Structure 1
């Protein structure tokens, strides 16, 4: 993996072909299920505990908030949410991955409006979320912002449990009416740790004001990719703030070319 995740090193591996093709939604109801190498043309609805999803491509969403509870301890690895062949953009405003008590590792989202949801902390089965080594290129269809204005996010917290966001790339430059690549506002969120992420786009690229943030460190924000500014932080709710900066970035190699401005203060 390069310095920061790219489309090439996340999601299903190069040369991958599915062993199983499933048309429509796939519902998992058996605890401990391991789902591997599937192509699912709809969504994957997780209605069982301790499920593992690996090397899978789907066109809908992976959701473990089904009915009136969270089906937790969900592990998702090397899996991608993309659009069907021949469809560049999507009008689907639902998150790609969610909602609580899950880990998403080397996951990929391409040309969707919403990436990851962190929420439903009050519901049975809820627990912490980890999103790491993952990549998202977020986009809104041309012209949609003039009529719908979806205000998408890379990661959105809403009634969210604690989240660890570590070593991800969230690129929202193709969204003309965004909120933020990372958006954890004061909406009944528990906060979390935000470490070593590469962010681009949004009104502000990094917004954190909901809950307690033990550490926001090492995050790099692509210079001039945002509408208003790189950060919007409630500093009273941050433990350690260090190593954050705006940078120039090479999207091909996944590497920072140079640091522009150290973000020494969070406010």
Structure 2
């Protein structure tokens, strides 16, 4: 009789648990979040299937902002939010049952100021995020008789992992060669002291962040004069603007940023006031971003670094509807940028062209200095519309759709050296082989 009561009790408990799991609400974006500048994002994990449902509203300022909706690391939809009250935005695609990562990223911000106050400021307010349908109902477990308890056993201690070697260094490129994957980023044999899943925020001025791995998150620098050394980031980025204030004096050394299991669709490093030395960006759909003058960001230097930029996920399929404008280096309202002794590669697909390996247009940018840099890929490989100087530019032959370079300041403030060349680049060894001179206007010589 006692055994029957125990079985009945266990059975009833299982049924109650199953019923609770059926009616339990799915996860959604907790408190509403306001996005105020380009690249700001709200990310949440939801369970279910069907389409993703996102509620958003916006603040107008001489036009409306744009919201990019990413699901599981892929860009699903781009929408201009034109309502000051919450509206529902539905994903284009249907998604299978399971857990999904949904991000809403703001673009096309705008802020208008008078002498004494802010007149208007575009923003996107993200409300609820959920799936169209809940996951299939769980099956109630079959009741079983309780097994007799056994005394606990003492677990065997796990062997300790030896600490990483102190201060490993990345070997310099051989003389006369350019950076490759092998001699940039975290050094060979490097291991992190800890792994962080999600964002990591730095708020201490002058802090040194080193020997960590960040997975699926942002290294968010909110204090000046921070040094990032020997850090690996997978599916994430480094960003140094918070609350419209730039954390200048940022130094990034011997650091690797990889695409990881998904692409975030944002620059690997942004916004300005930073120096990147021996940095490797390998696989994300955007590379170095230079900008943020409106936030007080200063000049940028990229030195002895390597960037290989891949297209969005899905760009390997025809008729994918994806509009990818990736760049290895892009400027938007940026201060002076200097790129020296580096390699910038843009890797388009037959269906997604991308933009340029180096793109510094007349969009609020100040000036640029190029000194001994290899570039490849894009519509135009090299595009510069600001004053500056270009020395030792090496454009890999026949890696463009329209032309090797497109410069509008060839006779208006741009100094063009005689050692700018077409040629070939060996990605494994970093060896450059010159073919012929590259004119400023980019026509074949």
TM tier, smaller: over 0.9
Q: Is the 8 A contact 2:392 2:419 kept in 1?
A: yes
Within-5 A mapping of 1:99-138: 99-124=271-296, 126-138=297-309
- The reply on whether 1:54 has 2:225 as its aligned counterpart is no
User: What is the CA-CA distance between 1:218 and the residue it aligns to?
Assistant: 0.4
Structure 2's unaligned 5+ residue stretches are: 1-172
Unaligned runs of 5+ in 1: none
Structure 2 residue 353 is matched with structure 1 residue 181: no
- CA drift of 1:83 comes to 2.7
Please, which of 336, 340, 356 is the counterpart of residue 162 of structure 1?
336
Contact kept in structure 2, 1:91 and 1:140, CA below 8 Å: no
Question: Does residue 94 of structure 1 match 2:266?
Answer: yes
Q: What is the TM-score when the length of structure 2 is the normalising length?
A: 0.56
Equivalents in 2 of 1:110, 1:196: separation in Å? Answer: 20
Matches within 5 A, 1:77-88: 77-84=253-260, 87=261
Which of residues 226, 239, 253 in structure 1 aligns to 2:415? 239
Whether the 8 Å contact between 1:173 and 1:225 is mirrored in structure 2 is no
Shift of 1:240: 4.0
CA RMSD of aligned residues (A): 1.5
Describe the SS at the equivalent of 1:94: coil
Alpha-carbon separation, structure 2, partners of 1:121 and 1:157? 11
| Secondary structure at 2:334 match in 1 | coil
Paired positions, count: 259
| C-alpha contact 2:263 2:313 (8 A) present in aligned 1 | no
**Post-superposition offset of 1:208:** 0.2
Contact 1:245 1:261 (8 Å CA) reproduced: yes
Larger Rg: 2
**Deviation of the 1:212 alpha carbon:** 1.6
* Alignment of 1:72 onto 2:248: yes
1:192 has 2:363 as partner = no
SS in 2 for 1:227: coil
Offset of 1:43 from its aligned partner? Answer: 1.0
Residue of structure 2 equivalent to 1:255 = 431
Separation in 2 of the partners of 1:26 and 1:242? 45
Tell me the distance in 2 between the aligned counterparts of 1:149 and 1:197: 27
1:172: which partner in 2? Answer: 346
SS at match of 2:283: strand
Match of 2:220 in 1: 45
* TM-score of the superposed pair, with normalisation by structure 1: 0.93
Taking the aligned partners of 2:181 and 2:199, their CA distance within structure 1 comes to 25
**CA positional deviation for 1:156:** 0.4
TM-aligned CA deviation for residue 142 of structure 1: 5.3
The superposition leaves residues 15-57 of structure 1 with CA deviations (integer Å, 9 ceiling, x where unpaired) of: 1100121121000000010011010111100000110000000
